[in-house]
Structure 1
């Protein structure tokens, strides 16, 4: 039996689910999903790469509930790796150009850009390949920024199998991923891989409840 480590691009998966299914599958049990996608493999771990939401208080609170629920439900299996959002220069809400555009009145809004996630995924992928940490690497993403890391990992350990699990909305991978296998994450897998409505932390007794908006 083979072993598998999954590398989950949190926002790539999030935006795919949101575009296809709205909020209904956000309460996702990542370990259960990987086991469903690779039923013949033994799960070594899930590396979940995301960044803390900024500027939206309610969304940030829901995200924290989810992160706490993941940690409580799958201790030792799901590792959350946090990146960051960079605060970009303000833009005009009317014309979407620089706030110095001259619109009267100019409506400023801030723009945030996620940083470091693809670099972090790539680094862990190559590191785990060098350590021979698993027989299979499962990348949950369709981001072509990961292509160089995939190619490096294959050079480091040519025997390690690498697969892409494409988030909803991605019918096929970019041609740049020609050296790896792939399959799609369908709605059945998402529906069957939800956390319990209430997740109780076995250590603290805290209860993490699925946000109402995610139902």
Structure 2
């Protein structure tokens, strides 16, 4: 059986989903989605989800927290790797007003490091990159140099595509609407400690 490790670019996937479906399919079962992309001779061994915790918006923070908790309950192959949001000040050149923005940091680097490290440690035969971010191309090239026998497949989220990543990978697939619709977490889940987790009404 061919061992597959999936690497999910959380922000690339999120914005692709939002662009195509609005909020309707954000309660996404990542493990089920990745499994649906495999061939019959492949087995999903691990899935790493790269994201960063939302800051400065309590409602968004709670929805994200509930989603990550739901993945932990329902999808045992999923490991979450957190980047961070960095606070930056912005100033209007015309009027001088200032405001605070938060920039996502480290998720691409974390994804790239994990891909190369897992290849070197022989943790997969095929890597499935759920992303259309060309910033991952150097990591793909490094993986192919160090472990040329490893295959890397790019799985492009809805409304996302990268010609550069397509060229570097051994193959690619566009994730279709039907796979997204079918790979949804149950509306309600209960953790081992009895905590009930529900799909946010905002995501309906």
How far apart are 1:89 and its partner, in Å?
Answer: 1.3
CA contact (8 A) 2:31 2:47 kept: yes
User: What SS class does the counterpart of residue 127 from structure 2 fall into?
Assistant: strand
Q: Could you tell me how far 1:176 is from its partner in structure 2?
A: 5.2
Corresponding residue to 1:109 among 81, 99, 102: 99
Q: How many pairs are equivalent?
A: 202
Change (3 A) 1:158 1:166: same
Residues 147 and 177, structure 1, Cα contact 8 Å, conserved in 2: no
Any gaps of 5 or more consecutive residues in structure 1? 92-96
Write the mapping of 1:153-168 to structure 2, written as runs, cut at 5 A: 153-168=143-158
Question: Whose Rg is larger?
Answer: 1
Residue in 2 aligned with 1:118? 108
C-alpha distance in 1 between matches for 2:165 and 2:70: 35
Matches within 5 A, 1:117-196: 117-170=107-160, 172-175=161-164, 177-180=166-169, 181-196=171-186
Please report the TM-score for the alignment, with normalisation by the length of structure 2: 0.94
Out of 188, 195, 200, the residue aligned to residue 206 of structure 1 is: 195
**Structure 1 residues 199, 176: closer, same or farther in 2, change over 3 A?**
closer
Structure 1 residue aligned with 2:71: 70
Measure, in 2, the Cα distance between the counterparts of 1:176 and 1:34.
18
Please identify, of 21-30 and 177-186, the stretch whose mean Cα deviation from structure 2 is larger.
177-186
Please say if 1:45 is aligned against 2:34. no
Q: Which runs of 5+ in 2 are unaligned?
A: none
CA deviation digits over 1:65-103, x for unaligned, max 9? Answer: 00000001123x100000000111133xxxxx35xx435
For the 8 Å contact 1:173–1:182, the answer to whether it is kept is: no
In 1, Cα distance between equivalents of 2:114 and 2:95: 46
Q: 1:108-127 CA distances to partner (integer Å, 9 max, x unpaired)?
A: 43111100011000000000
Give the drift of 1:177: 4.0
Tell me the equivalent position of 2:18.
Answer: 18
SS in 2 for 1:139: strand
Alpha-carbon distance in structure 2 between the residues aligned to 1:176 and 1:80? 23
Deviation at 1:195, TM superposition (A): 0.3
